[in-house]
Structure 1
Amino acid sequence: MSRFQLLNDDQWNLISGSLPGPTGRQGRPYADARTMVEGIIYRYRCGIAWRDLPAAFGPWQTVWRWHRRMAADGTWDALLGQLMAEADAAGMVDWSISVDSTIARAHQHATNVTRLKKGTSNYKNLLTEPLDHAVGRSRGGLSTKIHQLVDGNGLPLVTVCTAGQDGDSPMLLPLLEILRVERTGPGRPRTRPDAVRGDKAYSSRAIRAHLRERSIEAVIPEPRDQIGHRKRRGSQGGRPPKLDAENYRGRNVIERRFCHVKQWRGIATRYDKLSLTYRAAVLLHAVIAWTQHLRDMP
């Protein structure tokens, strides 16, 4: 396989039908979709500037335009949803999901845009650019936070990008609201996991009450301050929340997923000015992970 090619033929066949293609109209020859996708992957794997793309991928402007358009029209979201539906139909989705976030430092090239004002994304429409471009100032400086839900195998189900200073706990309910895996046959999409694994940052009354109402097992340890507060209240503090320690061990799959994601230097450090294009790169990485999983399907 060429050093400029990451996807093998089996993986490409899984996604090629959902990508743009020639329309039959006259005009300039249509760019080869596989070359464009490989060019996008190469750019984020290496963390180079778009202008430095090797000539093997054609004009860098064309590759950039493909990525920008597919990020804005939801192509990667739709393709990821299609792969998840196929995997779920084959029984390959483990519905004991894990939640966490990771920080990516924003390069100066990603921060030289005018941030209109502080604001968060409209999580019901992730194809709109947030007012703050998902860039905020945390302890490490200007940064972006990637929040994900992954299944029990560590494969991404939901991806959201926010400013670096945003907390983890407030994002769990929006992530669960976005979670939606379509059926390949008749039936409503699945939106309710069997269990949610999270670290102590996700321990709150609101989260536990929400999971309880939906009959979702909360595999979330109680932090020390909450334990002390509950004990000081005596009998009014209630019973300690149940924790399946054996199940909680499976939470490490999301840590391993972030290790894989940050192998792409263009994701480990954010160079993109727009949150839309940066999130699309994370989605593309998720698409590749699902194609590898489906390729290994017996």
Structure 2
Amino acid sequence: MPRAAELTDAQWDRIRPLLPSPIGKRGRPFRQDRRVIEAIIWRYRVGSPWRDVPESFGPWQTLWKRHRRYSGDGTWDHILAELLADADAAGEINWAVSVDSTINRAHQHATTLPRVTGGLSNYKKLLPEPADHGIGRSRGGLSTKIHQLVDGHGLPLVVLVGPGQAGDAPMFPILMGHLGVARSGPGRPRSKPDRVRGDKAYSSRAIRAHLRQRGIVAVIPEPSDQAGHQKRRGSSGGRPVRYDAEDYRGRNVIERGFNDTKQWRGLASRYDKLALTSRVGAVLRAVTLWASRMSETR
């Protein structure tokens, strides 16, 4: 694939049929879909301002408007959902799921909108823009987090963003609530993984109870302070936490997956003002990763 191209022909063949009907608001057909999509990918891969996207891709206003439109109407989420359904039907999804987040510094150009600090209710739905735009002040300054559930190969199943200072554990039930892979035949979407691997940040009674009630194996180690508190309480502290330490080694797939995501410089740092478009940049990266994997299996 030449350096000027952002998608292989095989990747484009997977994505093209899933794009919306090429009719604009005034009945004009969208032109050169591939060039526009590749321009959006180029912008996130390079981390460039929209105005500095090469003229060979077309007017930057067209690129931004298409990205904003596809972000708001759920196009990229729909495409990812379709790719996941195809992957599950082909047996390509490993349902040993891992959960984690990665923090991103927010560039000063991303922090010019007024922000109202809100609770996690802002992130229970995918499309509405949260009042704080998914940006918070952590020890390193203004930052945001990308939260993901990935399959056993490290490919994203769910992508959300939140403020950088927010904890990981409160986001876990929200991530699980958005997990749902449609089946090729009749039946509800699959929302129950075989197991969930998480680091000590996800060690809480609420999370363990949630997984236990759903019959999902929890592969989550316990922090030493929690183990100490439990031991001091004696029999009232409950049973000691046990997990498969050998299986836990498989959690590194999400760390390697974040490395793949952050190969796009526009995702390693946050340049988007809106959480809506920032999250969809990460969703678009997930689309390219799944399209690449599925094109290899054809």
Gapped regions of structure 1 (runs ≥ 5):
none
Describe the superposition over 1:94-139 as per-residue Cα deviations: whole angstroms up to 9, x where unpaired. 1110000000100000001111343445444211000000010001
Residue 237 of structure 2 is aligned to residue 237 of structure 1:
yes
Number of the residue aligned with 1:158: 158
The answer to whether the Cα contact below 8 Å between 1:192 and 1:216 also exists between their aligned partners in 2 is yes
Question: Residue 158 of structure 1: SS of its match in structure 2?
Answer: strand
Q: Which moved more, 1:116-125 or 1:273-282?
A: 116-125
The answer to whether the Cα contact below 8 Å between 2:123 and 2:162 also exists between their aligned partners in 1 is no
TM-score normalised to the size of structure 2?
0.96
Q: Aligned-pair distance for 1:238?
A: 2.1
Letter of the structure 1 residue corresponding to residue 159 of structure 2:
T
Gapped regions of structure 2 (runs ≥ 5):
none
Structure 1 outlier segments of 4+, above 6 Å: 24-27
The 2-side partners of 1:41 and 1:113 are apart by 24
Number of the residue aligned with 1:129: 129
Letter of the structure 2 residue corresponding to residue 153 of structure 1:
H
The 2-side partners of 1:165 and 1:179 are apart by 24
The answer to whether the Cα contact below 8 Å between 1:120 and 1:130 also exists between their aligned partners in 2 is no
* 1:219-230 alignment runs, 5 A limit: 219-230=219-230
Number of the residue aligned with 1:287: 287
The 2-side partners of 1:212 and 1:120 are apart by 23
* 1:258-269 alignment runs, 5 A limit: 258-269=258-269
Number of the residue aligned with 1:182: 182
Describe the superposition over 1:132-154 as per-residue Cα deviations: whole angstroms up to 9, x where unpaired. 00010001100001100000010
Measured on the aligned residues, the alpha-carbon RMSD in Å equals 1.6
Letter of the structure 2 residue corresponding to residue 82 of structure 1:
E
The answer to whether the Cα contact below 8 Å between 1:47 and 1:264 also exists between their aligned partners in 2 is yes
TM-score normalised to the size of structure 1?
0.96
The answer to whether the Cα contact below 8 Å between 2:120 and 2:171 also exists between their aligned partners in 1 is no
Aligned length: 298
Describe the superposition over 1:69-88 as per-residue Cα deviations: whole angstroms up to 9, x where unpaired. 00000001000000000000
Q: Aligned-pair distance for 1:235?
A: 2.2
Change (3 A) 1:60 1:95: same
The percentage of counterpart residues that share the same residue type is 62
Number of the residue aligned with 2:109: 109
Change (3 A) 1:37 1:273: same
The 2-side partners of 1:74 and 1:29 are apart by 19
Question: Residue 259 of structure 1: SS of its match in structure 2?
Answer: helix
The 2-side partners of 1:296 and 1:30 are apart by 29
Q: Which moved more, 1:211-220 or 1:228-237?
A: 228-237
Number of the residue aligned with 2:193: 193
Q: Aligned-pair distance for 1:28?
A: 5.8
Number of the residue aligned with 2:217: 217
The answer to whether the Cα contact below 8 Å between 1:115 and 1:133 also exists between their aligned partners in 2 is yes
Number of the residue aligned with 2:51: 51
Question: Residue 296 of structure 1: SS of its match in structure 2?
Answer: helix
